[in-house]
Structure 1
Amino acid sequence: MLYGFPVYWITGVSLFVPLFFGTVMAAFMVLRGHLRAVPGTLCWAALLCWIAVCLVSVTDFLQFAEFTQRLSDLVAVGISAAYYANARETLRLPHLLRGFIVIWTTVVVLGVLATQFPNFRLTTPLAYIVPRSLLNNEVMYEFAMPRLAEVQDPWGAEEPFVRPAAPFPYTNSWGMAYALLTPVMLLVWTRLSSRPKKFLLALALAVSVYPAAQTSNRGMLIALVIFALFVAARFVIAGSVRTALGVLSLLAASTAAAAAAGVFSSISERQAVSHTTSGRGEIYRETFEKTLQSPVVGWATPSMDPSIGIALGTQGYAWTLMFCYGFLGLVLFYVFLSRVLLATWRLAGTTAYVLQGIVATVGCTIWFYGLGTTQCLILVLAASALARAAVDGGDIDG
């Protein structure tokens, strides 16, 4: 699921990968038997069971198909976490980190290409196989013929905004993946013993700043700041004040570099013509009021609001959970995050703090950021690595 990430994007089959590998892993676990549940497993299972109950809100076939796709992805993600937790003899943390490297590298490379070829769309093999009628579906079209960038040309802008998106349909998904995995890449850098590898990764990190800056993405910057502050706080609590100051110094230097590169001015320029802040406020208000009409089981899937022109239950995964699965769906997701953090809080070391940072950052950012299947997979695998270490006695590298 991780190592083949770029291949699945190029071939257009990313939509089907979670279900395929989830089925394979489930079969292996059934054959093996003697499975164990680590902290967070039952919480995730409870969330999935509640989502299944919310099927009662489905009203037509298209809604059923979308609901089923979302649920199957979440089931596959949960199976992946359970598989990692039970494969402690064969899957260790370096295997997971190398998978994260593949995803991050794909994100950065395609991000750079997006800045150079913003109007390019890839025609994948899937586009030649699926019926033309299915290509009229927006989701299927974005997977079969993915674009490299979101090109936005709002009224009043001096020139279009080219915002990297690939290997995801939207720029915000790119930003979420970048925010979650870039601190992991810094962790990987500290673990490398080869100087050439350290140099290459440092070069890749430096290059990644360019497409990240081109996204003019406020949420991505906020997520990175939250991540850095959380890790610094963990070091302070552990008594490593010097390391915490190092993390904060890196954050300050990155902020200064971003300002010098014009990132903040680019964000201000886009906000001046796009008015996304006020628009999001209206979407959130309408989403909350609509949820109050079905607070228990929600509405199953996001729903287009003609007066706004944007689907309610979008623009943030917390709102998706609330709108689609009621307030209990949102609560159960936070129960999962809280359970993982509380159960693994005693774990010490940079690796543990960074993986905990993924969990904490997701908890803070889902109010304005969506959580696609890949980003969700990153979250639950990080949680599984933490939980497995807590159960096995604190060896996070085991």
Structure 2
Amino acid sequence: MTALAAPPAHTAQKNLTLPAWPITALLALYPLWWALGLGVLIFPIMAAPMLVLMLRRRAAGRPLVLPPGFAWWGLFLAAVVVSSAALGADPAGTVAEHASDRLISYGYRLGLYLTMTVLLLYAGNLTELELPRRRLVKLLGWLFVVTVAGGLLGMVAGTFEFTSPVEMLLPPGVRDKGFVQSMVHPYAAQIMDLVGGEKPRPAAPWGYTNTWGNNFCLLAGWLVVAAWASRRPLRKTIAVVVLGISIAPAVVSLNRGLWIGIGVLILYVAFRYVLLGKLWIIGAVVVAGTALVVALMASPLGDTVNARMDNGKSNGVRSFLMERAIDGFLESPVIGYGSTRTTIGGRNSIAVGESAGCERCGNFTVGGTGQLWQLMFAHGAAGTLGYLGFFAYGLWRFRRDRSPIGIAASAAIVTSFSAMLWYNSLATPLAFMVLAFALLWRNDLEGDA
């Protein structure tokens, strides 16, 4: 028998290389994916070639590197899997269903968590030659510009929507469901009555207003880092203009969690710069804050803020669901219930439920008003500890990273911690969290960009 010839050297070298196109296409073309109706679905779609490419490179002889603290994330994933054993349980005050009825929502979340794991590993294993960190920062900064553009669209054309190609391919019984609509039906804003009368709240291209606000905080820092790393003054000017314009949709969104997140982001960055001895940041924050207050007082935006602060219509529902999540956690503290649950009725009466004429009346989702509450209720102490432990360990492990990328990445993670009280992280916010972690990790491996 004739021995098989060894592959040419250039072929082996090619197999050892990870191409940047899966992440570049994912981020740079996200507006296109949104318009096509793929939205968050593009993440598992792109995760498939990422996984194949990593396995191919590993088979060619280059090992897969795991990030520091990955054992925490492994604990979280294990907890998600083990918690599926409780899918058939019906906590007090929730709608009774069979475990099989909850498999779709459970499988959706598990699939996205695995997708984010692949994204983390792929982004972290890319080298500077394959995908420069500054290029990844520019892609994330670009998505902040997209977020602001979507916010402006929601302000001026709140009822704008259209049927996407993917939506056209779905059966009517599937595409008409609210959850499916949020993924495949592009729309500019959610129309809600929070301050007297229905008003549009920016959502494009992230599906929900809360997700829009969460991503606003996670991405804002990357625009600043990308612009100030450039030698072109025009890019700095454009960044300042975009940040100034972003105030309008941020206020009109009526998103108090976003407002708090911006405050956390600014205070954390200022704190880090003060530790570096750059005390000028204090003056910059004071000047910027004063300018913002003056701008709000001199424009109708100030009235919008006051109206939202005087109308906390969602407070009662959030408190009700937080109590249900804590009660559920105490009933099943180790592994949780595997997924969310639907309450019987509303917070005032079990007789109040959603209907065709009032989809938001009762039957609320326990674990749907904040990642922390969902972790506690769905995956218990084990899942909560693994999830929070991974990102907290990353903050501690990379605490000495004083580069602009390092500070922006850690600021994004810190901001996400505050957002966990009222925002859920799947799918895009968690994607931006793991990419921030990957940038910290790569800084640690390769030095400052």
Q: Counterpart in 2 of 1:29?
A: 54
Structure 1 partner of 2:202: 164
Q: Kindly indicate whether the alpha-carbon contact (under 8 Å) linking 1:343 and 1:387 is maintained by their aligned counterparts in 2.
A: no
Inter-CA distance 254–39: structure 2 relative to 1 (3 Å threshold): farther
Q: 1:358 aligns with which of 405, 412, 428?
A: 412
Output the CA distance in 2 between the equivalents of 1:389 and 1:110. Answer: 31
Equivalent residue for 1:192? 230
Match of 2:77 in 1: 48
Secondary structure of 2:39's aligned partner: coil
Residue equivalent to 2:392: 338
- Letter of the aligned partner of 1:67 in structure 2? Y
Are the structure 2 counterparts of residues 41 and 122 from structure 1 closer, same or farther at C-alpha, using a change threshold of 3 Å? farther
What amino acid is aligned across from residue 68 of structure 2 in structure 1? P
Partner of residue 230 from structure 1, selected from 243, 256, 268: 268
Deviates more, 1:90-99 or 1:249-258: 249-258
- Post-superposition CA distance 1:249-287 (Å, at most 9, x none): 434433443454454542332354452223311221122
Moved more, 200-209 or 185-194: 200-209
Partner in structure 1 of residue 445 of structure 2: 391
Q: Is the 8 A contact 1:229 1:248 kept in 2?
A: no
Contact conserved, 2:157 with 2:188, CA < 8 A, in 1? yes
User: Are residues 136 and 172 of structure 1, via their aligned partners in 2, closer, same or farther at CA, if it must alter by over 3 Å?
Assistant: same
- Aligned residue in 2 for 1:145: 185
Shift of 1:339: 0.8
Aligned to 2:87: 58
Aligned: 1:367 with 2:421: yes
Runs of 5+ in structure 2 lacking a partner? 1-25, 89-98, 348-361
Instruction: Choose 223-232 or 57-66, whichever is displaced more.
Output: 57-66
* Aligned equivalents of 1:250, 1:93: Cα separation in 2: 29
Counterpart residue number, 2:20:
none
Q: Which runs of 5+ in 1 are unaligned?
A: none
- 8 Å contact 1:290–1:323 — kept in the other structure? yes
Structure 1 pair 186–262 and aligned structure 2 pair: CA distance change class (3 A):
farther
CA contact (8 A) 1:118 1:150 kept: yes
Q: For residues 306-353 of structure 1, what are the alpha-carbon distances to aligned partners after superposition, in whole Å with 9 as ceiling and x for unaligned? A: 233221111111111111111221121111111101110111133211
SS of corresponding position for 2:204: coil
SS of corresponding position for 1:2: helix
Q: Deviations over 1:124-171 (max 9, x none)?
A: 0012101111113221122222321111235x81x4232111112221
Q: How does 1:1-398 map to 2 (within 5 A)?
A: 1-33=26-58, 34-59=63-88, 60-88=99-127, 89-153=129-193, 157=196, 159-263=197-301, 265-305=303-343, 306-308=345-347, 309=362, 310-392=364-446, 395-397=447-449
Does structure 1 retain, via aligned residues, the 8 Å contact 2:182–2:208? no
Distance in 2 between residues matched to 1:213 and 1:9, nearest whole Å: 24
1:144 partner letter: V
188-197 vs 262-271, greater mean Cα deviation? 262-271
Equivalent residue letter for 2:30: F
Please say if residues 228 and 248 of structure 1, whose CA atoms lie closer than 8 Å, have aligned partners that are also in contact.
no
- Residues 39 and 121 of structure 1: CA distance in aligned 2, closer, same or farther (over 3 Å): same
Kept after mapping to 1: 8 A contact 2:40/2:427: no
Distance 1:66 1:153, change over 3 A: same
Q: Deviations over 1:169-191 (max 9, x none)?
A: 22111111111211221222211
Q: Secondary structure at the match of 1:51?
A: helix
Which residue type is aligned with residue 124 of structure 1?
S
- What SS does the corresponding residue of 1:22 show, helix, strand or coil? helix
SS of the counterpart of 2:27? coil
Confirm or deny: 8 A CA contact 1:38 1:85 kept in the other structure: yes
Partner letter of residue 46 of structure 1?
A: L
CA drift of 1:42 comes to: 3.0
Which residue identity is paired with 2:154?
A
Q: Which residue type is aligned with residue 121 of structure 1?
A: E
SS at match of 1:396: coil
Identity of aligned residues (%): 22
For the pair shown, the structure with the greater C-alpha radius of gyration is 2
- TM-score scaled by structure 2? 0.82
Distance 1:334 1:261, change over 3 A: farther
- How many residue pairs get aligned? The number is 393
Amino acid at match of 2:123: Y
Rounded to whole Å, the distance in 2 between the matches of 1:262 and 1:302 is 39
Query: Over aligned residues, Cα RMSD in angstroms?
Result: 2.0
Residue 4 of structure 1 aligns with an amino acid whose one-letter code is L
- Look up the equivalent residue of 1:367 and give its one-letter code: L
Moved more, 169-178 or 269-278: 269-278
| Shift, 1:227, TM fit | 0.9
CA distance in 1, matches of 2:209, 2:395: 28
Using a 3 Å threshold, how does the CA distance of structure 1 residues 23 and 40 change in structure 2: closer, same or farther?
farther
Letter aligned with residue 283 of structure 1:
L
Q: Give the distance between the partners of 2:112 and 2:69, measured in 1 at CA.
A: 18
Aligned AA (2:281): T
